[in-house]
């Protein structure tokens, strides 16, 4: 039974945390930025040091491959991303890349025999923090395999024109051309060349920590829907319009938020999560009654019937009177639950058991590149415990010990898959 190296993993965490260091414990490392290119150079250097072959596809996805003993065998790939959100932490995404590197380094150092070529991979622009959307380059690469309504959002030409949220001008296509990482389309991940995909990631939630388990055996990415709930009132002057005649869209939305929490919580599904994270208020002036207020509504659960019940409640807002304001409920998008490959999930579970690592089954509430890859290849994920469940912020933390355990579990699972 092989184990990854705590010392090597600790060194990688320390090294990669420098690229995009924002100076107070976290990083800002937009895809294809100077900091992201430094991380890619580090990846290349370390992978070349163990004899891996580097390939880069046309959207800068990077592949480092150790050949296997069977020249006919397809590759097994371990992938995640090295870009971050603004003022993000040192683990989201990059832990999956470091874990893949660590697996290859362990295989090389311990001369572990393997039949299949093993590939560590970096997905470009998973966060979409600078150039939306998120999961852009897995969307492009898996395009032909995605369901129609998801696919339509990842047209190659549209993605190249995605505009920087910072300058509202420069495009992803320009950043790609300038990066020096625009390789060849023939190197793209494909079912012809690749057999399985694994992704290790931090949990980004508190479930493992609360349960006292180090590792999560992820079985699915939760289905979800995203709607917009809009209220239309009448703007009037703050000083001149009597209260009973007002149609205040913000008051309407506030009442609706309270109503939604009451009704949805009464359904009694402890695993359901729902979020109203984005708001728009108009005219948003302290001397005007708002005539428009909108919030996003994101709900996630494994069971589509549960989501259906929640959606019914959300939709019921449109039929109610909100103090003279009308309400409109519109669909933004949804996705079905994506189940990981059962055989790969069982490999991960067996590996965790053999290593004696505390573990449990868990769903992924967040989206990951792996879920697009799953439409193309048998795929699964491994979660590593997150401190306080925090992510997409600077206090995001997973201990080097847990990170190394995650890599060891992935190594064990990959070696089981290698026997197929």
Binding interface with a second copy (CB under 8 A): 203-207, 222, 224, 226, 234-243, 245, 248, 250-251, 253-255, 257-258, 261, 265, 270-279, 281, 283-290, 295-296, 298, 300, 332, 364-367, 389-393
302 is in an annotated binding site: no
Could you tell me the end-to-end alpha-carbon distance of the chain, in angstroms, rounded to an integer? 18
Q: How far is the CB of 221 from a second copy (least distance, A)?
A: 9
303 is in an annotated binding site: no
Three-state secondary structure string covering 245-273: HCECHHHHHHHHHHHHHHHHHCCCCCCCE
Q: How far is the CB of 315 from a second copy (least distance, A)?
A: 18
92 is in an annotated binding site: yes
Q: How far is the CB of 382 from a second copy (least distance, A)?
A: 15
Q: Cβ closer to a second copy: 146 or 251?
A: 251
Report d(CA 99, CA 62) in Å as an integer. Answer: 15
Q: How far is the CB of 279 from a second copy (least distance, A)?
A: 5
Q: Cβ closer to a second copy: 46 or 81?
A: 81
Q: How far is the CB of 124 from a second copy (least distance, A)?
A: 20
Calculate helix-pair angle for 34-49, 94-109, nearest 10 degrees.
Answer: 10
Q: How far is the CB of 281 from a second copy (least distance, A)?
A: 5
DSSP E strand stretches across 128-238: 194-202, 215-221, 223-232
369 is in an annotated binding site: no
Q: Cβ closer to a second copy: 123 or 274?
A: 274
Question: Distances in Å between the alpha carbon of 195 and those of 83, 355, 377?
Answer: 25, 25, 7
Q: How far is the CB of 307 from a second copy (least distance, A)?
A: 13
Question: Distances in Å between the alpha carbon of 106 and those of 3, 393, 408?
Answer: 8, 30, 9
Q: Cβ closer to a second copy: 111 or 245?
A: 245
80, 96 in Cβ contact below 8 A? yes
Q: Cβ closer to a second copy: 241 or 339?
A: 241
Report d(CA 54, CA 45) in Å as an integer. Answer: 10
Q: Cβ closer to a second copy: 275 or 360?
A: 275
Report d(CA 227, CA 297) in Å as an integer. Answer: 5
81 is in an annotated binding site: yes
Q: How far is the CB of 185 from a second copy (least distance, A)?
A: 30
Report d(CA 76, CA 83) in Å as an integer. Answer: 23
Q: Of 415, 346, 416, whose CA–CA distance to 382 is shortest?
A: 346
CA torsion sign, 203 to 209 to 211 to 214?
Answer: positive
Q: Of 89, 171, 81, whose CA–CA distance to 368 is shortest?
A: 81
H-type alpha helices, 197-295: 207-211, 249-265
19, 36 in Cβ contact below 8 A? yes
Q: Cβ closer to a second copy: 75 or 402?
A: 402
Binding site: what residues are annotated? 81, 92, 127, 201, 392
Binding site for Zn(2+): what residues are annotated? 81, 92, 127, 201, 392
């Amino acid at each position: 039974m092989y184990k990854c190296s705590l010392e090597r993993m600790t060194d990688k965490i320390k090294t990669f945390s420098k690229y995009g260091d924002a100076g107070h414990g976290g990083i800002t490392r937009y895809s294809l930025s100077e900091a992201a290119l430094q991380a890619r150079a580090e990846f290349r250097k370390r992978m070349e040091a163990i004899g891996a072959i580097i390939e880069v596809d046309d959207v800068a996805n990077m592949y480092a491959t150790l050949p296997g003993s069977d020249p006919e065998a397809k590759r097994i790939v371990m992938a995640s991303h090295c870009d971050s959100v603004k003022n993000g932490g040192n683990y989201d995404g990059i832990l999956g890349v470091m874990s893949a590197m660590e697996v290859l380094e362990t295989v090389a150092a311990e001369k572990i025999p393997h039949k299949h070529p093993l590939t560590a991979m970096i997905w470009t622009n998973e966060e979409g923090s600078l150039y939306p959307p998120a999961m852009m380059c897995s969307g492009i690469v898996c395009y032909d395999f995605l369901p129609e309504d998801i696919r339509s959002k990842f047209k190659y030409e549209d993605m190249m024109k995605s505009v920087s949220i910072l300058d509202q001008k420069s495009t992803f296509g320009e950043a790609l051309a300038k990066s020096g990482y625009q390789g060849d389309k023939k190197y793209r991940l494909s079912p012809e060349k690749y057999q399985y995909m694994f992704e290790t990631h931090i949990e980004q939630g508190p479930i493992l920590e609360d349960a006292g388990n180090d590792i999560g055996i992820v079985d699915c990415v939760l289905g979800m829907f995203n709607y917009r709930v809009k209220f239309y009132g009448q703007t009037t002057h703050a000083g001149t319009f009597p209260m009973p005649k007002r149609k205040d869209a913000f008051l309407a939305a506030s009442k609706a938020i309270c109503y939604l929490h009451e009704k949805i919580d009464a359904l009694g599904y402890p695993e359901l999560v729902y979020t109203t994270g984005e708001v728009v208020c108009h005219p948003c002036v302290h001397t005007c009654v708002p005539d428009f207020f909108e919030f996003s509504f994101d709900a996630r659960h494994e069971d589509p019937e549960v989501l259906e019940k929640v959606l019914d409640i959300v939709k019921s807002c449109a039929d109610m009177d909100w103090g003279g304001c009308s309400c409109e409920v519109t669909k933004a998008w949804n996705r079905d639950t994506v189940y990981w490959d059962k055989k790969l999930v069982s490999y991960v579970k067996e590996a965790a058991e053999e290593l004696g690592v505390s573990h449990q089954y868990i769903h992924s509430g967040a989206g990951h590149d792996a879920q697009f890859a799953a439409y193309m290849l048998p795929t699964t994920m491994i979660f590593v415990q997150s401190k306080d469940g925090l992510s997409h912020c600077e206090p995001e933390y997973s201990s080097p010990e847990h990170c190394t355990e995650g890599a060891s579990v992935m190594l064990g699972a990959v070696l089981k898959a290698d026997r197929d």
